[in-house]
């Protein structure tokens, strides 16, 4: 069992791109750049789903997140325009307090993950066939999700009406 | 050789806490929303990884991720509508100017 297989190399590249882009997204001072870096993170997440052989999930991620949400962000950044150019940070003290809090919480979580001994031997490379996804989404048996699906559709309708109501000019 | 599950979990943890860091330090409503998206994304990765590595015969995590993506879309649409409305009324989205609800 060689240590550096192709999967691990691909994963390492993906993880590097995602972490660098995520860090750039929360530190850059220009709004459009932050949104573009977020787009790289979202594409990387789709790559992670493809690596888990959840191809449908990867496609949904690209269509909804990278295609829909990022367009919304870009619209907002362009509509607001001048107000978004200069993202001023907080005072140095609060900046380092935030850095310290998130880094220490991250260290605790990473320690718990590394020492948990999570079993990985059940992973199969079969993926999920499209027919299984369709029947599970529309079925009414156990482990089927038709109620959640309908609740989601009502939520999206309500959110559409709400967004129009909020953003409409008086 | 397959990638161990811990690697994915470590990646998701790092992304989540970058989002937390951004949420603490950014002072612009759209930047705060970008940080929230980073955190949501990390959680979605965790759902998918736990499903694939511990119960691949069931699809709970798969569908939780899918519904999570849908809810994130709804949340972002409403949040951006609110931000645009705030900008129209206050002429700024910097949070130091948004103190009317505070008192």
Contacts of B66 in chain A (CB under 8 A): 57, 60
Q: Which CATH class is domain A1-88?
A: mainly alpha
Contact A159 B69 (CB under 8 A): no
Q: Do B52 and A52 touch (CB under 8 A)?
A: yes
- More confident of the two residues A12 and A3: A12
Q: Which of A4-13, A38-47, A132-141 is the most confident on average?
A: A38-47
Other Cβ atoms closer than 10 A to A74: 15
Q: Does B90 touch chain A (CB under 8 A)?
A: no
For residues A88-106, give the mean pLDDT: 85
Q: Do B80 and A75 touch (CB under 8 A)?
A: yes
Q: What is the pTM of this model?
A: 0.90
CATH number of B5-97: 1.10.287.3510
- Rounded Cα distance, A100 and A43, in Å: 29
Return contacts of B56-65, CB within 8 angstroms, 24+ apart.
Answer: B56/A122, B56/A123, B56/A124, B56/A126, B58/A143, B59/A128, B59/A132, B59/A133, B59/A136, B59/A143, B60/A143, B62/A54, B62/A57, B62/A128, B62/A133, B63/A136, B63/A137, B63/A145, B63/A148, B65/A49, B65/A54, B65/A57
- Confidence label for A126 from pLDDT (cuts 50, 70 and 90): confident
Residue in chain A lying closest to B76 (CA): A69
Nearest-neighbour CA in chain A from B91: distance (Å): 8
Check residue B15 and give its pLDDT: 95
In this model, does residue A162 exceed pLDDT 70?
yes
Side-chain half-sphere exposure of A20, counting CA atoms within 13 A: 6
ipTM of this predicted structure:
0.91
Domains in chain B: boundaries: 5-97
Chain B residues within 8 A of A159 when measuring between CB atoms: 74-75, 77-78
Closest by CA to A38, choosing from B35, B8, B84, is B35
- For residue A103, count other CB atoms closer than 10 A to its CB: 13
- Tell me what pLDDT residue B21 has: 93
Instruction: Say what the pLDDT of residue A83 is.
Output: 55
Q: Search chain A and give the residue with CA nearest B19.
A: A26
Q: Assess whether pLDDT exceeds 70 at residue A12.
A: yes
The answer to whether the Cβ–Cβ distance between B5 and A118 falls below 8 Å is yes
Which residues of chain B fall below pLDDT 70? 1, 102-103
Q: What is the DSSP letter of A159?
A: H
User: Which residues in chain B (25-84) have CB-CB distances under 8 A to chain A?
Assistant: 25-28, 30-31, 33-35, 37-38, 41, 44-45, 48-49, 52-56, 58-60, 62-63, 65-67, 69-78, 80-84
With an 8 Å Cβ cutoff, are A1 and B1 in contact?
yes
């Amino acid at each position: 069992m060689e240590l550096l297989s192709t999967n691990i190399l691909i994963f390492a590249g993906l993880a590097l791109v995602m972490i660098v882009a995520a860090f750039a997204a929360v530190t850059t001072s220009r709004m459009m750049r932050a949104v573009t870096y977020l787009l790289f993170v979202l594409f990387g997440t789709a790559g992670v789903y493809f690596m888990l052989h959840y191809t449908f999930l990867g496609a949904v991620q690209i269509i909804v997140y990278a295609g829909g949400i990022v367009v919304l962000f870009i619209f907002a950044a362009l509509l607001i325009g001048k107000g978004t150019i200069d993202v001023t940070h907080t005072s140095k003290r609060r900046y380092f307090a935030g850095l310290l809090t998130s880094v220490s919480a991250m260290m605790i979580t990473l320690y718990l993950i590394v020492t948990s001994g999570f079993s990985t031997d059940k992973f199969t490379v079969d993926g999920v066939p499209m027919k299984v996804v369709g029947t599970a989404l529309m079925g009414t048996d156990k482990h089927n999700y038709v109620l959640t699906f309908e609740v989601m559709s009502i939520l999206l309708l309500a959110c559409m009406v709400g967004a129009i109501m909020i953003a409409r000019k008086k | 050789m397959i990638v161990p599950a811990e690697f994915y979990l470590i990646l998701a943890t790092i992304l989540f806490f970058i989002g937390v860091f951004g949420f603490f330090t950014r002072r612009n409503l759209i930047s705060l929303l970008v940080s929230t998206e980073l955190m949501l994304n990390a959680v979605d990765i965790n759902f998918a990884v736990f499903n694939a590595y511990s119960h691949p015969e069931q699809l709970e995590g798969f569908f939780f991720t899918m519904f999570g993506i849908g809810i994130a879309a709804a949340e972002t649409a409403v949040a951006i509508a609110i931000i645009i409305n705030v900008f129209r009324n206050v002429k700024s989205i910097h949070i130091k100017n948004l103190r009317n609800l505070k008192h």
